[in-house]
Structure 1
Amino acid sequence: MTDCVFCSIVAEDSPAYRLYEDEHTLAFLDIEPATRGHTLVIPKTHYETTTDMPESLAGRVFETVHHVAAALETAYGLDGFALVQENGVTAEQDVPHAHVHILPRYGDDALDLGWNGERVDETTQQEVAATVRDELMSGA
């Protein structure tokens, strides 16, 4: 895709601080990092969302996430890390190219992922579980 900033990075038409790449994936530092070492992992082939990718490629992306996150943990002695993967504008996906954020966490960082979950009743949980299991069983 010619107007995709991530495709431009893959093609080396745009600069990036590349950390790791293989035949199918690329990991590079985020241009506006939330924390030191904030990294993006992308498939080299353009897919807008994770569910658009073939399952095997999604697996390869997460293998790269695993590899790079482990390197970040060792290099910076992280207190932890968060993985964020957004699909679609409503989910706040800024770049329409599938990507996973690796967000290193430090004991003194002020990063707030804005999670405000609330408990739901058992009936709702049972309905959601049944609906998703049915979809999984139908071969989705």
Structure 2
Amino acid sequence: MPRMADSASGKPCIFCEIVKGERPAHIVLDTTDALAFLDVRPLFKGHTLLVPRTHVETLPDLPADLVGPYFQHAQRLAAAMESVLGAAGSFVAMNNRVSQSVPHLHVHVVPRNRKDGLRGFFWPRQKYDSDAEAAAYASRLSTALADPA
């Protein structure tokens, strides 16, 4: 019998396979709503991926009632990086579509230490041409957030 796809692309989702126990992973956190496991290509040892058990591709797709619990798990993982791994802090990041290697929502929680070689963000920074341009971007976003559409 053919395997049903977990994602909108029609391809099986690697993270859904991990959630279902069909693909091996080093599990770090296992709850009724989320699963965290070590990244197979970590930035640093302990680099963990947190995924919701339900297949959603991006943060806007995550049901509102799951956002708080999901980020509480991320918060606990970030604390564990310091208390258990002895890291000075952590890097917590998420991509939505662009640079999202697996189309299943996931948060990277990476242990960090000073002078660990990771330099800020992985892309060049930009500047606004003027205060007016920055204000226009802020206004557009603010208007969109004020409209509950």
Query: What is the TM-score when the length of structure 2 is the normalising length?
Result: 0.86
Higher helix proportion (structure 1 or 2) = 1
CA contact (8 A) 2:89 2:111 kept: yes
* Equivalent residue number for residue 100 of structure 2: 93
Question: What does the per-residue CA deviation read over 1:15-39, in whole Å, with 9 as the maximum and x for residues that have no partner?
Answer: 1111112110111110110111100
> What's the CA shift for 1:119?
2.7
SS of aligned partner of 1:8: helix
Gaps of 5+ in 1: none
* Equivalent residue number for residue 125 of structure 2: 117
> What's the CA shift for 1:64?
0.5
The aligned runs of 1:65-84 (5 Å cut-off) are 65-84=74-93
The structure, 1 or 2, with the larger RCO (C-alpha pairs under 8 Å, 6+ apart) is: 1
Which amino acid letter does the alignment assign opposite residue 117 of structure 1?
R
Which amino acid letter does the alignment assign opposite residue 108 of structure 2?
H
Distance in structure 2 (CA, Å) of the matches to 1:93 and 1:83 = 14
Q: Percent identity?
A: 36
Please, what is the CA RMSD of the aligned residues? 1.4
Of residues 46, 51, 63, the one that matches 2:55 is: 46
SS of aligned partner of 1:129: helix
Gaps of 5+ in 2: 1-5
Distance in structure 1 (CA, Å) of the matches to 2:145 and 2:40 = 37
Distance in structure 2 (CA, Å) of the matches to 1:46 and 1:118 = 34
Of residues 87, 102, 111, the one that matches 2:109 is: 102
> Quick check: 53-62 or 37-46, which moved more?
53-62
Which consecutive segments of 4 or more residues in structure 1 shift more than 3 A? Answer: none
Distance in structure 2 (CA, Å) of the matches to 1:108 and 1:119 = 26
> What's the CA shift for 1:116?
2.2
* Equivalent residue number for residue 63 of structure 1: 72
1:28 aligned onto 2:55: no
> What's the CA shift for 1:60?
1.8
> What's the CA shift for 1:80?
1.6
Query: What is the TM-score when the length of structure 1 is the normalising length?
Result: 0.92
CA contact (8 A) 1:18 1:29 kept: yes
SS of aligned partner of 1:19: strand
CA contact (8 A) 2:44 2:111 kept: yes
